[in-house]
Amino acid sequence: MQLTVKLRLLDKHASELNRQARAVNAVWNYCNDAQKHAFNTRWAWRDKWLSAVALMRLTAGAGNELDLHAHTVQGVCKQYTISRKQQKKRWLRFRGRKSLGWVPFNTGHVSFDGKAFTFRGIRYEPMHLRDLLKPGIKIGAGSFNQDARGRWYINCPVEVETADRAPNTRVGIDLGLESVIALSDGTKIAAPRLFRASEAKLANLQRARKTPKRIRRIHAKIANRRKDWQHKVTAKIAKEYGLIVVGDVSPSKIAKSRFAKSVLDAGWAGLKGMFSYKSIRNGGGTIEANEAWTSQTTSCCGVLPNGRPRGIRGLGIREIVCDCGNVLDRDVNAARNILRVGLDTLVEGARHV
């Protein structure tokens, strides 16, 4: 599916874009003059209408002189002939100071690295990012555009995966300790190592009651990384599933964690909120289910087997063996139970989060 993205760029890029826009205007006005000349001397020319190809031939090399991308020059030529035909005119208006800045670019010449767009070796940072913009995403032919207030935007088509989820798909989610999210479909998603490491560092610092300044610094650093990761994960899940059931994360579970309660609370609250609004945006919903017993009951037979994880010692057990002989991943098993509990409570009216 192709979507057109429009993002406002930081104002610091205005001078370079203004410069390119002036050069674009020069090319446009040159095309206009050439077209005028062709029309006025049509008895000497084979054609009174200059095609885009003819204009490109006339402007070849202009890119070097004007410090523009060769395809920007060609883009101007193409747009000139398109506009002239659309407006059914012999030639068009001169582009000058009053014209809003415009710098076209061609497919594949702008890249995106997750933070900024790069065009001709120059990075252009947007003011906001969009979930659908993944690093390395394919960017088609588009343009930089200026609005009446002089602010610059990038307009470009991007190829995004189609959200063709079945409306009845549902998933249970175990928001595990230590940044592991387990899904009832068997998927386990672990947070990137980097921020898990800093989170552990933070937990240690907090326990050691180190200086607030140092803690704040690490806090800010990992908060960004964590949020970024959470946005990606929740967006993907919300796109895939119509109904999301999350556990209510019991206080006893938090007590067993090696992290400070505040760290966990913030993380879980953030995740739940993201699941909630992202699923609504995708036409789905998120509900909360009572997590009690979900980590100890087997999801296949619904029994409490003898080898079940129990108490603080139980947290070290990654697998749970059912009486029927099934060996289940502890977190995925919990996610399946959360889904089941969620679907049961749905009948009675579950709490939407």
Using CB under 5 A, list all residues that contact Zn ion. Answer: 298, 300-301, 322, 324, 326
Round to whole Å and give the CA distance between 111 and 296: 48
The smaller minimum CB distance to Zn ion, of residues 58 and 321, is found at: 321
The pair of structure tokens assigned to 323 is: 């009486």
The smaller minimum CB distance to Zn ion, of residues 82 and 324, is found at: 324
Round to whole Å and give the CA distance between 81 and 343: 60
The smaller minimum CB distance to Zn ion, of residues 157 and 305, is found at: 305
Closest approach, Cβ 328 to Zn ion, in A, equals 8
Closest approach, Cβ 305 to Zn ion, in A, equals 8
Closest approach, Cβ 300 to Zn ion, in A, equals 3
The smaller minimum CB distance to Zn ion, of residues 246 and 320, is found at: 320
Q: Is the dihedral of CA 90, 92, 94, 95 positive or negative?
A: negative
> Which residues, in sequence order, are CB contacts of 158 under 8 Å at separation 6+?
2, 3, 4, 5, 132, 133, 137, 138, 139, 140
The smaller minimum CB distance to Zn ion, of residues 53 and 324, is found at: 324
Closest approach, Cβ 336 to Zn ion, in A, equals 11
Closest approach, Cβ 191 to Zn ion, in A, equals 30
The pair of structure tokens assigned to 97 is: 């100071």
The pair of structure tokens assigned to 212 is: 């607030």
How many residues are there in the chain?
Answer: 353
Of the candidates 125, 121, 101, 126, the one whose C-alpha atom is nearest the C-alpha of residue 28 is: 101
Strands 243-247 and 285-289: parallel
Strand partners, 109: none
The smaller minimum CB distance to Zn ion, of residues 326 and 345, is found at: 326
The CA-to-CA distance between both ends of the chain, in Å, stands at: 30
Strand order across the beta sheet in which 122-124 lies = 110-112, 117-119, 122-124
Closest approach, Cβ 344 to Zn ion, in A, equals 19
Closest approach, Cβ 325 to Zn ion, in A, equals 7
Helices marked H in 102-171: none
The smaller minimum CB distance to Zn ion, of residues 121 and 325, is found at: 325
